[in-house]
Amino acid sequence: MENKVEFEQEVSQFGEDLRRLKEEVQKFIVGQGDVIDGVLSCLMCDGHVLLEGVPGLGKTMLVNTLAKALSLPFSRIQFTPDLMPADILGTNIIEEKAGGKQFVFQAGPVFTNILLADEINRATPKTQSALLEAMQEKIVTVAGKTHKLPRPFMVLATQNPLEMEGTYPLPEAQVDRFLFKLIVPFPKKDELHEIMNRTTGKTTPEISPVLTGERINEMRELVRAMPIAHELSDYALRVLEATHPEGTDAPAEVKKFVRFGGSPRAAQAILLAARVRALAAGRYAISYDDIRSVVKPALRHRLILNFEAEAEGVRTDDLLDSIMKKLKEN
Amino acid sequence: MPAMSSVVLPAQLNSSLSRTRFRLRFSRFIQKALPIWSVLGGVIVFASIVEHAEWIEPAWMRNLQWMLVAAMAGVAIWSVSRVITVHQAAALLDAAAGGDTVIPAAVSFARHPQEGPFVEMTLSQAAAHTARVTPAKAVPLLFPLAAMALPFFGMSYIAVPHVVEPPRLFWGMVGQPSIVNQLDLTPNFAKEDPEFTVLKEEIQDLLRQTELFGNSKTKELARELKRIVDAVEKGVMQPSAAAAKAEEIAKALANGNDNDPTTKEMEAAFEELAKTLKKEKEFSDLAKAFEQKDFDSVKRELSKIEQQRAAKTPEDQKKMDAAMQKAMDEAAKNLETKAAQAQAKAKALENQKKSGEAEDARKDAEKYRRAADTVRQMGKSPGEKAEALKKRMQEAEKSGDKEQADALKKAMERMQKAQEQAQKNKQGQQQGQQQGQQQGQQQGQQQGQQQGQQQGQQQGKQPGQQQGQQQGKQPGQQQGQQQGKQPGQQQGQQQGQKQSTSQNMGDSVDNYMRNRSEQESQQKTSNTAEEVREAMKRLRQGGQCKGGNSGGRQSGVQDFFRRANGGQPGQGGKQPGQGGQKPGGKQPGGGQGAGIGSEDGGKLLGKTERTEVKTTDHQLDTKRQGDGPTRQQIILGASDKGFSKTQYKEVYTKYQEAAKEVLKDEKIPPGYKHLVKVYYRLIRPREGQ
């Protein structure tokens, strides 16, 4: 019985910590509740986030605030076309020491807990791919030597959907590494008022650290310990299958506009994020709603639309809506 | 993280899930099947109205109703037979409890076992959720509005037979008929109708046959049949009810006659006797006659033997009798041997568990045993035979073999009849003798003796009559003794005048021939009854159609019958019976007949079928070109050749008789016979033809 009580406390503490973290971030970031939830879910899932939105919506601010609230080291890289991989990963430099000159590894900005890759699509594919290994393996290899990245490690990349000239769209393989792609919407008017008040006044809100890196790792363990009911994981997989044009449950729109559906990584992302959502709500099992709520951020960047869809201006979110509308729970 | 023990799905949750599944199934039945039932119910009620109003063939409507009932059953099965998973029930319970997929998750964990604190906590949460909700809340039973019509349809269906009657409803729709029309509403059944006429003829035949050959029961059945048909003709009885009743009677008549097993025994006995008699030279012709089953020859041969015997000395007569008796004994022995063999075979087959074949073998054994008895009885007098039969019947009754007892009883009755007949013959002979005696008194005793002898000979060659011949030689002494005596009593009197073995054998042959003739007559009655039954069946089918609208026939068949009655194709009108002359009755030659052509032609001629063939047009290159001769030219050309001078009546009679012979002699199913008879009825000659 004692174990049960302890476990209940642990679960409720998870929810409480997450709530506090969100509150802390929201001290500075007005509105954008879904985006913050998405970012926090990725943090708890040990995943990376791709934030997409027009300039000035607070993407960088969000990441900054999150890093401060976590009291974790934070790095920011402004991606430009002339940015080289070594600028991100680091390089060996000659250093004179008592015994003579020797190569010493100079760690790049990637060696941090929270990494903001600002306007990631402006860097060349070579540089973008340098980030791939770091994101997936959480290691960096320079001059044949592998360096582990600190844990937790999270990349928050941003991209601007408007200025496409001189950009290098992220390749499919790289996009797939991001757990979520979050769309940062333009704030509502009352939110804008609040933003104006907070940012143009004399004082700015103070962000205090809420969670440590260790606590985040513990919370991640709890997320992965949660079992998933067979029927629910089946539902998530049916959603994934339905994104493929050849899938039996695929709606007509998918068959018409989708070239390639989501990868298995998408299902992993769905189930992990659904767990976080259930735990945040103090529940011990995920629900269909949990799955449905994470389908879009987990899948929208993984669907590759065909030319017809591009021509007709079809959005992946609309296709995902039609999939969820068609699919029955059981 | 603390570890926890494995978990089991709470009992309350299990129970709730079962009840929810049941309610879900029932709910599906209500939601899916009841609206469809309502529609089908409405159609059934409508079909019932149509059936009782007889707007369309009622049999079709009944079949339609059965099909609809079957469809309802199918819908019910379909609605409840869909798979309802536990997970579906769990999802419904969860939704009612407002739990975020906790119950389905718990069910899933139980079905796909997983351990850990999360599972434990999920199960306890699911139990808590289940306590808050009932299956009734999870699956509320909502009756669709359409289902409300079902009780109404149910009541309507019950009420329809009591409310809807063919004429009333029909009149209600088309208006009350005028007095003239009412007068015309005498049952179609009773109107001139070839089928009805044929039926009456069949019944007349049946009456004749049952009066001649039938027993009291069959006679009464035939008379009852006649009474029913008369009642229908007078309009006292409804055709459909009468037809149903009459068909039952005809069926009873058709099944009323059965074969007498003793005839078969006698056949077996004669067969064996033929073999043993063959060994004696003086009986070889008799044996041959037996072998060929020519019983007239048998009787002739027996008569010859009797004459030869009469010419012999008493000693030779004894020798002859002994030889015949020996042949009979040998035949009886052989038959007993065969019976024993058949019995052994039956046992062997029974051991081999071939029960059907064993039963046949046992029957054969019984037949041979009885045939042996028959052969032994052959040498005995009628009284002795009657006594033996009685004994056998009692034995059969004791052993509980009712079938055999009945057969023997019938055989006894027949024997008694035969003896009565013989007695009558004898009396006739005695009267002749008496006359002869009176004449003898006038003309001399010798002349009287001769006359009595001649009369006796003329009145039959029965052994009893032959006795009469002998008795005729001493008329004054025996006349008083013979009158009013019973066959059994005659035995005592005949002591000292014992019949020869050949005479007794002759009696047996006579008895056998009489039995066979009677059976043949009964068979004829059966055949006629079968034909009556078929006619009844047809008439009932026709009567059902006639009760309502007789216009619902196949037009092709109507045309056929119309033309058969002398009308032209296309004539006859839509309401047969109106406007035309009634055929057959007072004006038999009146052209196309009322009602004819709207009858059961479709059933008689069967369903038409269309053969799928591909046709190819060919242009024939003929020598003649143009439109050809005109119709006038054709007619004139035909008249130049001359018209047939044979009267139609003659042609009809010739063909009808030929058809009758075929119907009588050949094995034709009663349905076809009836069809042929109706056909000839339809094409019968009218006045002036």
Question: Which of A227, A231, A281 is opposite residue B114, by nearest beta carbon?
Answer: A227
Residues of chain A with Cβ-Cβ distance to B128 below 8 Å are none
Quote the minimal CA–CA distance from B138 to chain A in Å.
16
Is B106 in Cβ contact with A4 (below 8 Å)? no
Is A229 in Cβ contact with B91 (below 8 Å)? no
Percentage of the residues of chain B whose pLDDT score is greater than 90: 1
Residue A287, pLDDT above cutoff 70: yes
Asked if the bond preceding B151 is cis, omega within 30° of 0, the reply is: no
Percentage of the residues of chain B whose pLDDT score is greater than 70: 62
Residues of B with CB under 8 A from a CB of A: 1-4, 85, 87-88, 91, 100-102, 104-106, 108-109, 111-112, 114, 116-122, 125
Quote the minimal CA–CA distance from B144 to chain A in Å.
24
More confident residue, B207 or A52: A52
Residues of chain A with Cβ-Cβ distance to B112 below 8 Å are 229-230
What was the pLDDT predicted at B210?
73
Is the distance from CB of B258 to CB of B404 less than 8 angstroms? no
Mean pLDDT (whole number) for B87-108: 83
Residue B177, pLDDT above cutoff 60: no
Range from A104-118, B56-70, B513-527 carrying the lowest mean pLDDT? B513-527
Is the distance from CB of B195 to CB of B600 less than 8 angstroms? yes
Question: Which of A11, A221, A225 is opposite residue B116, by nearest beta carbon?
Answer: A225
Percentage of the residues of chain A whose pLDDT score is greater than 70: 98
Quote the minimal CA–CA distance from B90 to chain A in Å.
10
Q: How many CB pairs under 8 A join A and B?
A: 80
Residues of chain A with Cβ-Cβ distance to B88 below 8 Å are 330
Question: Which of A3, A281, A283 is opposite residue B2, by nearest beta carbon?
Answer: A3
Q: pLDDT tier at A160 (50, 70, 90 boundaries)?
A: confident
pTM over the 0.90 mark: no
For the record, the structure tokens of B484 come out as: 């009013």
Q: pLDDT tier at B500 (50, 70, 90 boundaries)?
A: low
Closest CA to A118 of A85, A83, A89, A78: A78
Question: Which of A7, A284, A330 is opposite residue B125, by nearest beta carbon?
Answer: A284
Closest CA to A229 of B138, B123, B14, B3: B123
What was the pLDDT predicted at B154?
87
Q: Which of A6, A230, A275 to mutate to test the interface with B (most CBs of B within 10 A)?
A: A230
Residue B613, pLDDT above cutoff 90: no
Q: pLDDT tier at B53 (50, 70, 90 boundaries)?
A: confident
Domains and CATH numbers, chain A: 2-198 (3.40.50.300), 226-326 (1.10.8.80)
- For residues B385, B386, B388 and B390, what is the CA-based torsion angle, rounded to 10 degrees? 160
* Number of neighbours of residue B366 by Cβ within 10 angstroms: 18
Closest CA to A242 of A302, A322, A298: A322
What was the pLDDT predicted at B538?
67
Is the distance from CB of B469 to CB of B455 less than 8 angstroms? no
Query: Which of the 8 DSSP states describes residue B32?
Result: I
Measured over the CA atoms of residue B450, residue B456, residue B461 and residue B465, the dihedral's sign is negative
Domains and CATH numbers, chain B: 11-161 (no CATH), 189-256+519-548 (1.20.120)
State the distance between the two ends of chain B, measured CA to CA, in whole angstroms.
116
What was the pLDDT predicted at B654?
85
Residue B644, pLDDT above cutoff 70: no
Minimum Cα–Cα distance from A275: chain B residue: B118
Range from A251-260, A280-289, B437-446 carrying the lowest mean pLDDT? B437-446
Residue A135, pLDDT above cutoff 60: yes
Residues of chain A with Cβ-Cβ distance to B95 below 8 Å are none
- Mean pLDDT (chain B) is 70
Is B104 in Cβ contact with A227 (below 8 Å)? no
Minimum Cα–Cα distance from A226: chain B residue: B118
Q: pLDDT tier at B547 (50, 70, 90 boundaries)?
A: very low
Stated as kind and residue range, the H or E segment containing B682 is helix B670-682
- Mean pLDDT (chain A) is 87
Name the residue with tokens 């032609």. B601
Mean pLDDT (whole number) for B189-197: 62
Question: Which of A225, A290, A330 is opposite residue B1, by nearest beta carbon?
Answer: A225
Q: How far apart are alpha carbons A28 and A48 in whole angstroms?
A: 22
What was the pLDDT predicted at B447?
47
Residue A271, pLDDT above cutoff 90: yes
Q: How far apart are alpha carbons A279 and B456 in whole angstroms?
A: 127
Residues 6+ apart with CB under 8 A from A184: A32, A35, A51, A52, A53, A57, A58, A59, A62
What was the pLDDT predicted at B188?
46
Minimum Cα–Cα distance from A228: chain B residue: B105
What was the pLDDT predicted at B575?
40
What was the pLDDT predicted at B326?
83
Minimum Cα–Cα distance from B2: chain A residue: A3
Is B101 in Cβ contact with A232 (below 8 Å)? yes
Q: Which of B20, B92, B101, B124 to mutate to test the interface with A (most CBs of A within 10 A)?
A: B101
Q: Is the CB of residue A234 less than 8 Å away from at least one CB of chain B? A: no
Angle, in degrees to the nearest 10, between helices B475-482 and B445-458: 40
Q: pLDDT tier at B349 (50, 70, 90 boundaries)?
A: confident
Q: Which of B118, B119, B120 to mutate to test the interface with A (most CBs of A within 10 A)?
A: B118
A76 has which bridge partners?
A: A116
Question: What residues of chain A, 4 to 63, have a C-beta less than 8 Å from chain B?
Answer: 4, 6-8, 10-11
Buried b / exposed e across A166-191, counting CB within 10 Å, b at 16+? ebbebeeebebbbbbbbbbeebeeee
What was the pLDDT predicted at B82?
81
Mean pLDDT (whole number) for B621-638: 69
Q: Which of B93, B100, B123 to mutate to test the interface with A (most CBs of A within 10 A)?
A: B100
Minimum Cα–Cα distance from B94: chain A residue: A287
Among A46-60, A160-174, A255-269, B491-505, name the most confident range. Answer: A255-269
Residues 6+ apart with CB under 8 A from A312: A257
* A178: three-class secondary structure by DSSP: coil
What was the pLDDT predicted at B625?
62
What was the pLDDT predicted at B622?
59
Is B101 in Cβ contact with A222 (below 8 Å)? no
Mean pLDDT (whole number) for B607-625: 64
Residues 6+ apart with CB under 8 A from A46: A152, A154, A220
Is B87 in Cβ contact with A330 (below 8 Å)? yes
Q: For B274-313, what is each residue's pLDDT tens digit?
A: 888 888 777 888 888 888 877 788 888 888 888 888 888 8
Mean pLDDT (whole number) for B105-128: 82
Range from B68-82, B414-428, B440-454 carrying the lowest mean pLDDT? B440-454
Closest CA to B547 of B45, B55, B48: B55
Residue B359, pLDDT above cutoff 80: yes
What amino acid is encoded at A307 in this protein? F
What was the pLDDT predicted at B315?
84
Q: pLDDT tier at B577 (50, 70, 90 boundaries)?
A: very low
What was the pLDDT predicted at A238?
92
Minimum Cα–Cα distance from A223: chain B residue: B118
Mean pLDDT (whole number) for A137-166: 84
More confident residue, A191 or B607: A191
Residue B487, pLDDT above cutoff 70: no
Beta strands in chain A (DSSP E): 49-52, 74-78, 90-97, 100-107, 114-118, 139-142, 145-148, 154-159, 180-183, 258-260, 304-305
More confident residue, A15 or B251: A15
Q: For B427-475, what is each residue's pLDDT tens digit?
A: 665 665 565 455 545 554 454 445 445 544 444 344 444 443 444 444 4
Question: Which of A3, A11, A229 is opposite residue B4, by nearest beta carbon?
Answer: A3
Q: For B221-240, what is each residue's pLDDT tens digit?
A: 778 878 887 877 777 777 66
Is the distance from CB of A279 to CB of A288 less than 8 angstroms? no
Residue A128, pLDDT above cutoff 70: yes
Phi, psi (rounded to 5 degrees) for A146:
-95, 135
Q: pLDDT tier at A294 (50, 70, 90 boundaries)?
A: very high
Minimum Cα–Cα distance from B122: chain A residue: A284
Residue A299, pLDDT above cutoff 50: yes
Residue B576, pLDDT above cutoff 60: no
Minimum Cα–Cα distance from B115: chain A residue: A227
Residues of chain A with Cβ-Cβ distance to B114 below 8 Å are 227
State the distance between the two ends of chain A, measured CA to CA, in whole angstroms.
34
Number of H helices, E strands in chain A: 14, 11
Minimum Cα–Cα distance from B91: chain A residue: A330
Is B106 in Cβ contact with A7 (below 8 Å)? no
More confident residue, B250 or B467: B250
* Phi and psi based region of residue B197 (left: phi greater than 0; alpha: psi -120 to 50; beta: remaining): alpha
Percentage of the residues of chain A whose pLDDT score is greater than 90: 18
